[in-house]
Structure 1
Amino acid sequence: MEDLLNTEILNGQTLGDFLTLDFLAGILGSVLSAILILIVGYMIAGWVRRRIVGLSDRYEHLDNTLFNFLGNIAKYIIVGFAVLFVLNTFGVQTTSVVAIIGAAGLAIGLALQGTLSNVAAGVMLIFFRPIKQGDFVEVNGQMGTVKDISLNFTELASLSNVQIIIPNSEVWGNTITNYSIYNTRRAEWTFGVGYGVDLYQAERIIRDTITSDERAHVEPEPFVQVNNLGGSSVDFLVRVWCDSDVFFQFQADMKRKVKEALDDGGINIPFPTRTIIQE
């Protein structure tokens, strides 16, 4: 009877082989090995991610967003390899699994071309940093202050404090005008005076009014010259350097102050006139 039972077990005709100690020990060993591989893989992945993210905390000029992204990518890659090792432990042919994952990745990549291009552009923006938070920029016809740069889009706040969302592919692929990258800017005005006025006096008034403002830089030397003889005015071209953060207010203030100073100095400021002759 015992010989008959053993014969049936060997021939796979009963369920007795699933209850043998050797088989259970093998299953248990595989499960424990898989758990151990996953735990070790997860611990290594977490350690690698922390090391990568820690680089941005150690060096202030490095962007946190980029290193968080790179850290997560490294973590997922390590965990993915750990899962492949687990599958291999259970006898699964990992070559076919990798092929399936590759095919699925290709299909997903083709379906998400626009999104992936935004992510790629976001990585380039974060890595090369042509713009950063707080910069006042003009991108793709939109002007505003940079509020955030994510992996998918760049957020601007317009002069009217309206949120503007621009896909990163349109930011990286277009001309970027960054008004905040340099500490100084050159303000420029054109002031017209009448043909009958004393040009030396007009020039002195314009120069003294602008250079007396504490926002005007002495170096480089301010430029005040007659630039054009117009149809009804002699035009002075004025160029003065100032700090970038006061540029707009400085430029606006000087228009009013120069006009008031010319009026006080008796300098005629011509304006368009029209003479109507009735017959």
Structure 2
Amino acid sequence: MTGIGEAPADLLSALEAEPSPESVEDMIAVQTLSLGRRTVAVVTLTRPAQHNALNLAGWQRLTTVFSALGDDPAVRVVIVRGAGGRAFGAGADISEFPAERLGTAAADRYNSAIAAALQGVQSVPFPVIAMIAGLAVGGGCELATACDVRLASTGSRFGIPIGRLGVTLGLTETRAVAGLIGAANLKYLVYSGALATADQALAWGLVQKVVDPGELVAETARLAWNIAESSEVTVRATKQVTALAADPAVTDQHTLIRALHAQAYGGEDLREGIDAFLAGRAPKFTDGRTPSHGRS
């Protein structure tokens, strides 16, 4: 079977460089790369001097960004990363807590902004890859777990050391992290304040692959391009059915699962995939979409 080729040079270049200043708004940079009929988006947290800690405006901007990307029919995959090479994200900006997070009303507003951002990442219909180099701590760790797949470089560190602050985890954040590493490991991270190594994160299932720092860009680009070149019917259905599978009450007779099944086995991508496999060539899939009501 013909495999997916190497990632385009434009994608590699975008991931090797820092985002341009004009692409940044409220500490979030957005770059969209049109690669033929496919668009790959790169979202960068851009406060390297503060280890890419996000303030309230940054969390709100993430929600806006992912809402717009989710509505773009050309987008196939999004990569989230941190600027500067030292951190993916160090969580929330503690310096603004006195003004923005003290008192129940202020905390509700701030916590709702974080939850909305994480839910925005989770709800887009295409895969989101976290490219992690350095620290993924607090809200940065939570943001990474909201993504579909996480790739990390050796030397990366993960943790939620909030016990020294006196804040609490929201339900959205707790579900995102505990859903990957289990409740006991989440409690350990909070209670101990420890930062897990990349190897420990890999063993827990927090990340899917750990590579040398010099290989992280190429590995991330390769995965993103593999997704972009794969059947969009398969890719989007995988995200949707995986989300449904978390509910033990869902069966194979669920309306969405039946609709996805019908689309796949009655659609053109399967025919093209079979023909390409038998001919020993790369498939050329259509721009088919999974049912719109099935956004996970």
Instruction: Place the TM-score, normalised by the shorter chain, in its bin.
Output: under 0.3
Name the structure, 1 or 2, with higher relative contact order (CA <8 Å, separation 6+): 2
TM-score normalised by length of structure 1: 0.19
TM-score normalised by length of structure 2: 0.19
Q: Which has the larger radius of gyration?
A: 1
